[in-house]
Amino acid sequence: DGGITQSPKYLFRKEGQNVTLSCEQNLNHDAMYWYRQDPGQGLRLIYYSQIVNDFQKGDIAEGYSVSREKKESFPLTVTSAQKNPTAFYLCASSIEPGNTEAFFGQGTRLTVV
C-alpha cells in the first residue's frame, strides 16, 4: 500500500518538552515538506527537503528542526523554543522539488498543555 504516513494522528505534550512528529513515504519521492495549518492562515511552510541529506528553512522555521537521513523519512521536531506549537501539522512529498503534484499525509494534531 503506497503512500505517505504521519504518526500519530493526535499528540499531547507538556509545555517545555520537545516532540518529534513522524513522516514516512514509500513513493520513492525526492522532495518532502512540512506545513503547519492554522485556521484562516492556510498552509505555512516550515521546512522542505529536495533530496536526502539536504533541507531548507521555509517561512516559519523558528522553533522547529528536521532531518533527512533517509529518502523515506522526514521527521519534524517541535522544540520548546516554538512559542505557539499547538497546531495541525501536514507532511507532503513530491516526485521532484516544486513543479509536480504534492501528496499529503493525514496530518498530526499537536496539543501542548
Partner 1 sequence: GENVEQHPSTLSVQEGDSAVIKCTYSDSASNYFPWYKQELGKRPQLIIDIRSNVGEKKDQRIAVTLNKTAKHFSLHITETQPEDSAVYFCAAVGTASKLTFGTGTRLQVTL
Applying CB under 8 A, the residues found at the interface with partner 1 are: 31, 33, 35, 40-45, 48, 50, 56, 58-59, 90, 92, 94, 97-99, 101-102, 104-107
In whole angstroms, the minimum distance from the beta carbon of 19 to partner 1 comes to 21
In whole angstroms, the minimum distance from the beta carbon of 88 to partner 1 comes to 11
Residues composing the chain: 113
Closer to partner 1 by Cβ: residue 66 or 92:
92
**Calpha distance 106→84 (Å, rounded):** 21
Closer to partner 1 by Cβ: residue 84 or 99:
99
Q: Using DSSP, state whether 55 is helix, strand or coil.
A: strand
Closer to partner 1 by Cβ: residue 17 or 51:
51
Here the cell at position 71 is 529518502
In whole angstroms, the minimum distance from the beta carbon of 3 to partner 1 comes to 10
**Calpha distance 106→100 (Å, rounded):** 19
**Phi and psi (nearest 5°) for 41?**
-120, 5
